[in-house]
Structure 1
């Protein structure tokens, strides 16, 4: 930039504190949302050795767990559940920004293309049909966790890179409206320069770390204000800031100029807050900023080479803004006559003696923004508390209505945590299969033992545990279905049959899944009651025979010590 660079106020130091500790490997968190207890047990047992597992028995509960902390990194979601089915859970997850990017794998006994398409259209990542094949499930969970981790790494990298660019430039590169190529254009801009008066001399005896801390806190506050007013932050030069309005987005010359001057006023007000904060840190220096603003035609775009380029502005009007800043008194905003012509009627300003500036042959007409506009609103809107263990700094004037609501929620949470007694109750671990070796019979009526064992990853104890759970939990299923039919609750009867089909298929049952599916189809197709009763009778026979075979054929449970 022409004749405007100034020495820096101290470069950040590179830490040499020694070798960093190796990061602790954290296990990924998997959330299972499944209404059937046996399937939940199977999935928890299958996944808990590799992942941190949480489980919910209903859609509403699963939704609450997904939006709570810690959030899952992948969700296994059953489709057919009472009250809130998996499709509705998926809709709610997709609408919530906290959960929209969590990969979801649907688990269901439904097998039609339409059902699968519906889930994928809602945003599901994948679809696994019941009975669940453990190798397929484990492979897909691992695959989607890796893809999600890669996506997060790419997002984190892009966010880090975005800090080296103005937000508008970063966004225009990502949405394709701007290309990273050497290209400039001439546009009417409003240019802003500011610096801290005598900052370098005042901090000459400080340690570099102290200078860096102070300067970065200042830059953070000023950058936030610039973002709020839609400015393009060009660069930091030592303790100086260069900002402009009008590219890559413009509200028109007049509104760009108004936004720029209003931003400058907000920055001067914020300096009052910073001064109070610095005094509380025993920094006795009274730092004040001076600001210069000018409007006019500049060259703006990418300058540099194919290897390294910079998005910036050059031209006479840029240099004039720098000269105005250098001529301003501490705490003052000087604007050119061109800027004043654009903001007149909205901004109060007083004419000053024309400025004789280096590089300009003629005196420059200038105006000083009215000091009253920069007076703070007092402390009524600021809440502060700074003591050991407690630091609070709330500026009500900076918060929007939605932000105030969020702040109130966070404060209430903190209050609850402060008032609550420590909760030392231990969370019970999921039940695990007995690690001891268990012998299976060679044959059991109604079961394909080889198929069921393979679905239990070849683990005899896990398979026997699943069979025992099936035997104990489904002895009353037929009675529950019949009662639902008597009460006219066809949907409840259909869900009971659907759940039975999924569990029976998981353990390798031969007849029960087919009979349960036939009943489910009869209920879903609103067939006559006689047809439904016939399907139910067939299921009652096959289920009864299977439970009897399990009772007779399962090895006895080990006695408790």
Structure 2
């Protein structure tokens, strides 16, 4: 099975529509239900409950004239609450005077649209703001990550200079290999250099992309799960003396590409690499933990491949890892099968 067939989907933005008129809620739901997850609120107080919840919206379409609390007050409270202060809010109202619009924009709205609405215009404006907001959030996450890895002058040039325009993001299903030293194991410089060189060589062999912006570990991401598992097996064998523990996880990843110091860089942002690290933390030293998402994609190949020797333990009480693979020590230079012996357990 190809990873693109995974049941995991790219994040769908969550749009909160706030209006005390049922017909207007119905209209907005019809415009956006095929594009976004639409949540409705018929009052300002109800809207604030949604915004302040553990699952806040990515954007708010907000009416102004409502009986219990007007839209201006709703926006004031959204902006005063730090966790919600940056949620984009678009006013969608019958108040059409320049004074009303100026007040709305001064309070921090990103746009101001008047009723009766032009459906095509509303859709275009909302889509533009959704794209801009998603890009800004990814740039912020990338900035925080690279601040630990780039020289200050390089970081400044990338995020506050013309190179900012060259930053690009892509969302796609990837399988991530995360490898780190086992507990109570500290590498010396020679071991660290040897490990890095081995990761680079195996990633090239298996068509993976090394994320060079990881603290204290190695991460490699792949379009296909099979090569990722095969690389993990070969790396565990070749670096047996380093007492590694690894995690393999498949999910929708945000991939950031940028240019710094005349070189192209590529790194993962978002929670999928964090999940791969958590999967790795469940593995014993010398083993590879495989998440349920990855195992669902490769289990048929793993069980069909009978060359070699492997210990394989299934977990029944973990949401993070489905199986833990322990390859036999390397004997000779070549793996004995396409899956390094998966299947004998």
TM over 0.5: no
Structure of greater relative contact order (alpha carbons < 8 Å, 6+ residues apart)? 2
- When normalised by structure 2's length, the TM-score is 0.45
Q: Over alpha carbons, which structure has the higher Rg?
A: 1
- When normalised by structure 1's length, the TM-score is 0.28
- Structure holding more strand per residue: 2
